[in-house]
């Protein structure tokens, strides 16, 4: 299946043989990479699903709490209460390398260490439902951050796995068979050339002997 034109020369043969060795080595390495990535990915994506379900349930219930809180107090008071947040979250991003894929690692820190600083308002004019709502949201924040980390990693790994899989397949089904076919073609062609040279030499030898000794004429006498 040598689709491309190859020169049947020894130099080309050596080149193709080297290429085949590299391709086979590369194929083996990429396959290992794909398998390891896949293992890590499957582990991570399971965690991703778990976390997502938990976070979604958490946010949903927090939202319900907020709706209840909102119903119990005037809107302006609610806006005023949440206008100036006391707390601030900063994120330290780090990068971890898993099988040549860079995935993020987040570390978050709050401006003040006091967990009660999420209440940015005095308790006098707001309903207690609001406290509960804010608390329920604060409780799922760590899981939300972990979700961000895991989900982003999953996305990055998925695209890397896809790329690696394509490469493995291209090597396995195109590059390696093509190179093998090329090598076979050149070997055959070279063998054929050698045989025809040999036959030509034998023929020439016959002709020269004929010329020197004139066998056919002697036979006729």
Partner 1 sequence: MSKIAVMGDYDSIYGFATLGLDTFPVDEKEEGTQLLHRLAGSGYGIIYMTEKLGEMLAGAREEYMGRISPAIILIPGVSGNTGEGISRVKGSVEQAVGSDILFGEEM
CA–CA separation, 120 vs 176, rounded Å? 66
Kindly state whether residue 126 participates in binding partner 1, applying the rule CB under 8 A.
no
Residues 16-75 that bind partner 1 (CB under 8 A): 38, 41-42, 45-46, 48-49, 52-53, 55-56, 59-60, 62-63, 66-67
Q: Least Å distance between CB 100 and partner 1?
A: 13
Phi, psi of 4 (to 5 degrees): -90, 155
Residues β-bridged to residue 103: 96
Contact 149, 105 (CB under 8 A): yes
Nearest residue to 145 via CA among 181, 114, 108: 108
Residue 73: strand, helix, or coil: coil
- Give the residue, chosen from 7, 9, 14, 120, that forms a contact with partner 1 under the rule CB under 8 A: 120
Q: Please report whether residue 90 would count as binding partner 1 according to CB under 8 A.
A: yes
Q: What is the DSSP secondary structure assignment for residue 117, as one 8-state letter? A: G
Interaction of residue 155 with partner 1, rule CB under 8 A: yes
Question: Any bridge partners for residue 90, and if so which?
Answer: 109
Beta carbon of residue 176, minimum distance to partner 1 (angstroms, whole number): 21
Q: Running DSSP on this structure, what letter comes out for residue 126?
A: S
- Please give the Cα distance from 199 to 184 (Å, whole number): 23
For partner 1, which residue of 138, 176, 181, 190 counts as binding (CB under 8 A)? 138
Q: Determine contact, residues 8/72, Cβ cutoff 8 Å.
A: no
Q: Which residues contact 180 (CB under 8 A, 6 or more apart)?
A: 20
Stretch near partner 1 under the rule CB under 8 A, chosen from 25-33, 136-144, 170-178, 183-191: 136-144
Residue span binding partner 1 (CB under 8 A) among the ranges 6-14, 20-28, 96-104, 183-191: 96-104
**To the nearest whole angstrom, how small is the minimum distance from the Cβ of residue 83 to partner 1?**
8
The binding site for partner 1 (CB under 8 A) comprises 38, 41-42, 45-46, 48-49, 52-53, 55-56, 59-60, 62-63, 66-67, 82, 85-93, 95, 102-104, 106, 108, 110-111, 118-120, 133-134, 137-138, 141, 144-145, 147-149, 151-152, 154-159, 161-162, 165
């Amino acid at each position: 299946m040598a689709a491309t034109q190859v020169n049947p020369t020894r130099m080309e043969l050596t080149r193709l043989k080297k290429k085949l060795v590299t391709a086979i080595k590369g194929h083996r390495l990429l396959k290992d990479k794909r398998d390891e990535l896949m293992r890590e990915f499957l582990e991570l994506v399971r965690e991703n699903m778990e976390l997502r379900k938990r976070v979604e349930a958490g946010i949903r219930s927090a939202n319900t709490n907020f709706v209840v809180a909102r119903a119990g107090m005037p809107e302006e008071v609610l806006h005023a209460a949440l206008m100036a947040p006391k707390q601030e979250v900063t994120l330290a991003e780090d990068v971890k390398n898993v099988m040549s894929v860079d995935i993020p690692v987040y570390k978050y820190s709050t401006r003040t260490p006091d967990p009660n600083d999420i209440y940015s308002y005095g308790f006098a004019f707001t309903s207690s439902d609001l406290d509960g709502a804010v608390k329920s949201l604060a409780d799922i924040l760590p899981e939300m951050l972990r979700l961000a980390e895991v989900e982003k990693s999953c996305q990055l790994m998925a695209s890397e796995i896809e790329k690696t899989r394509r490469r493995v397949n291209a090597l396995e089904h195109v590059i390696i068979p093509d190179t093998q076919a090329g090598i076979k073609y050149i070997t055959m062609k070279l063998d054929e050339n050698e045989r025809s040279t040999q036959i030509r030499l034998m023929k020439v030898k016959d002709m020269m002997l004929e010329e020197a000794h004139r066998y056919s004429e002697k036979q006729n006498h």
